[in-house]
Amino acid sequence: MMVPNDYVGSVMELCQGKRGNFIDMQYLDANRVSIVYENPLAEIVYEFFDQLKSNTKGYASFDYELIGYRPSTLVKMDIMLNGEKIDALSFIVHRDYAYERGKIIVEKLKRIDSTPAL
């Protein structure tokens, strides 16, 4: 990733929160830093780009390459409405984030359900 010097801390925090492993960091000049992390692809495709741009006010950029498969503890998250499993809402999530992601989905569904019908 190419990151302005002012945002190094927030970018590293983002990568750590996305199950990243720090590899390397090089200061290219007084204003730019190259940071290398190994992150699971599942974490990159889920809101990483948006969060990176948000944390750096749009100034950071990143590139990635696939480095292979690694074992992980993943679970299938099923969402039920009125006791019935809705297959379209099922997804795969890392076990460490299952409760948090499930809670977010349930809160969104509660808001949708509580909106008055026209």
Would you state the structure tokens that stand for residue 51, as one six-digit string?
A: 């969060």
Length of the chain: 118
What is the residue-level pLDDT of the chain in tens, covering all 118 positions?
A: 999 999 999 999 999 999 999 999 999 999 999 999 999 988 888 789 999 999 999 999 999 999 988 888 999 999 988 889 999 989 988 898 899 999 999 899 888 876 666 6
**The pLDDT value given to residue 115:** 66
**The pLDDT value given to residue 62:** 92
**The pLDDT value given to residue 117:** 62
pTM of the model: 0.71
